[in-house]
Amino acid sequence: MSDNDYRLRTGDVVRHVPSGEDWEVLYADYESGYMSWIGWPPGRARIADCELVRKCTDEQHARDVDLVLDGGHDPAVKARVARLAGRAT
């Protein structure tokens, strides 16, 4: 898979081009075209406005998904992360 075909996932790091900020990906929902970051304040941005900085490992991805699902995130966010990661809720 080329970098052009790579789909962002929980644990990757992206640069939000309009702000110049680097964010760790909470989720990237290609159906909606939006991603959300891990951290405060919560929010979302267009995937098209982000560039991949660093791909997470499969182990890091699994760990970060577990942290989201076991943490204090909104139930709708947990459901979205689970769906996108291919996990049953």
DSSP per-residue letters across the chain: --GGG----TT-EEEETTTTEEEEEEEEETTTTEEEESSSS--EEEGGGEEEEEPPPHHHHHHHHHHHHHTT--HHHHHHHHHHTT---
The stretches in the chain having pLDDT less than 70 are: 1-4, 88-89
**pLDDT, tens digit (0-9, with 9 covering 90-100), for 38-62:** 999 999 999 999 999 999 999 999 9
Amino acid symbol at 41: P
Radius of gyration of the chain measured on its C-alpha atoms = 12
**pTM of the predicted model as reported, rounded to 2 decimal places:** 0.90
